Amino acid sequence: MIAKYHTFGCKLNFAETSTIAEMMADKGIRRANHGEYPDFVVVNSCSVTAEADKKCRQWIRSCHRRYPDARIIVTGCYAQLKPDEVAQLPGVAIVAGTDRKNLIAEYVEHQLAAAGKAPCHQYITPLQQLRTFSPSCSRGDRTRYFLKVQDGCDYWCSYCTIPRARGRSRSGTVAEMVAQAREVAAQGGREIVITGVNIGDFGKGTEETFFDLVKALDQVEGIERYRISSIEPNLLTDEIINFVANSRRFMPHFHIPLQSGSDTVLSLMRRHYDTALFRHKIEAVRRAMPDAFIGVDLIVGARGETDEEFRRSAEFVESLDISRLHVFPYSERPDTRALEIPYVVSQEEKHRRAAHMIAISDRKLREFSSRFVGTERPVLVEHSPRPGILVGFTDNYLRVNIPVTDTPTPSELAPTAASTADAQSESVSVSTETDCSRCSLDAYTNRILPVRIDSLTPDPELLLATFIPY
């Protein structure tokens, strides 16, 4: 039997979808190839905004029209928060809550054993009982692996439904996470992205901390790169910053949610920091790692964000030495404290504010990227998106395209510490062809190789680069 998978939302969802696919494969249900008609469609949903809910509904309806005989399985935050609504959508056979993802393969097995077409089943754990941590470490179709170390959140920000969808903060142990990282290394993985809902809260209720986890993962042989996916500014300690700065394995790359540059709005949002603390964290990263990529989340048009508070937010963002913004227009969510805040921003004004912040982001990203034109950086080469082009990310998260015309073969490239280890590994196939037109692009994939960054492109997120030969 065959299954198709579709994921909405965060990196954590992508990691969990890959784990679901692996468990389904263990039951004899393989992933669908392009053009194949699936028996099952698994949708891992998101509910961070009303628009996210809408996109999930639209996709499920479209999927049912395309595959009317397929059984659709919906999991994720939308399924957890609105199971009855999801169950009414056409073609849906199973609705599984956020803590039931690792049980989906068993639910499918039960449906297959039932005679005839079974009715839609809902498997939802009440919020108060969401206590189980389900591990996940998967690559899927990507070069990098995603290691889930934590789930849930205890912060209850006024605008957010995630605590209702994911439950209380909980995590695995340091020993369990290290064991999974070692498995990734044994499979030939080079890079791990550490994911979770609130990863800085790792170990809450135990004697272990996120810093303990970082130090332990840094000792795992075979993993060349770690990235911290997103961490709250109040949980990004100076000791973590300094450790990353001196680590060979943890990359100079941080994603830190700000949400607003106005202290008034931050207070209304019930965030756990103010702009002074946030500025301190950005400056601490810059002092320790001048080349670090710093991405920042920002919400515009939240309740209580008057014109004056938006101006303050924009001025604060302008003053920060960051690399990029991820801008989100505020979305009303049911059962959140934000609905009690009286000042409401119109949709038109939200879009105007988002456009203003995106323009700031594009300029900051171009300014940051331009600093590295003419420099050399190590790149983890990923699968080629089209003939003649290799792609990858530098250590400090610059996305580069590498044309293969006149590119040296892997054996002719200048070594990095990681590429030297690659060359000594029996599991890495390295072409010795001198004509690159005959050199398999697979010889470059999943290797860390040195490049020279040549130029920017019209796309502020992309640079052009060439490999560095001996």
300 and 327 both lie in a single domain: yes
3 state DSSP class of 332: coil
CATH number at residue 462: 2.40.50
CATH number at residue 80: 3.40.50.12160
Q: 84, 106, 125 — which closes off a domain? A: 125
Share above pLDDT 70 across residues of the chain, in percent, rounded to a whole number: 91
Reported as a single tens digit per residue, the pLDDT across 19-64 is 999 999 999 999 999 999 999 999 999 998 889 999 999 999 999 9
> Rounded to 5 degrees, what are φ and ψ at 41?
-125, 120
- If phi over 0 gives left and psi between -120 and 50 gives alpha, with beta otherwise, what is residue 91? left
CATH number at residue 363: 3.80.30.20
Q: Could you tell me which residue, 250 or 142, shows the higher pLDDT?
A: 250
359 and 387 both lie in a single domain: no
Q: What's the pTM value of the predicted model, to 2 decimals? A: 0.88
Strand-pair partners of 43 = 6, 74
For 191, residues 6+ apart whose C-beta sits below 8 A from its C-beta are 143, 144, 145, 223, 224, 225, 226, 227, 380
Q: Tell me the mean pLDDT in the region 357-383.
A: 95
| Residue 259 token pair | 């949400």
Q: 104, 125, 146 — which closes off a domain? A: 125
366 and 403 both lie in a single domain: no
Q: Tell me the mean pLDDT in the region 377-402.
A: 90
In the predicted structure, residue 165 carries a pLDDT above the cut 70: yes
Task: Flag whether 131 is in a domain.
Answer: no
164 and 244 both lie in a single domain: yes
Tally Cβ neighbours within 10 Å of residue 246. Answer: 10
Q: Tell me the mean pLDDT in the region 113-133.
A: 83
300 and 421 both lie in a single domain: no
Separation CA 376–CA 468 (nearest Å): 8
Q: How many domains does the chain have?
A: 3
Tally Cβ neighbours within 10 Å of residue 442. Answer: 11
13 and 99 both lie in a single domain: yes
Separation CA 127–CA 368 (nearest Å): 43
Reported as a single tens digit per residue, the pLDDT across 177-223 is 999 999 999 999 999 999 999 999 999 999 999 999 999 999 999 99
Mean pLDDT of the chain: 90
Share above pLDDT 90 across residues of the chain, in percent, rounded to a whole number: 76
- If phi over 0 gives left and psi between -120 and 50 gives alpha, with beta otherwise, what is residue 420? alpha
Q: Which helix (H) or strand (E) holds 112?
A: helix 104-113
Separation CA 21–CA 2 (nearest Å): 11
Q: Residue 413's domain spans which residues?
A: 376-467
318 and 173 both lie in a single domain: yes
Q: Tell me the mean pLDDT in the region 77-102.
A: 95
Q: In what order do the strands lie in the sheet with 225-228?
A: 136-138, 145-148, 191-195, 225-228
Residue spans of beta strands (DSSP E) within 1-112: 2-7, 30-31, 40-45, 71-76, 92-96
Q: 314, 337, 370 — which closes off a domain? A: 370
Tally Cβ neighbours within 10 Å of residue 341. Answer: 17
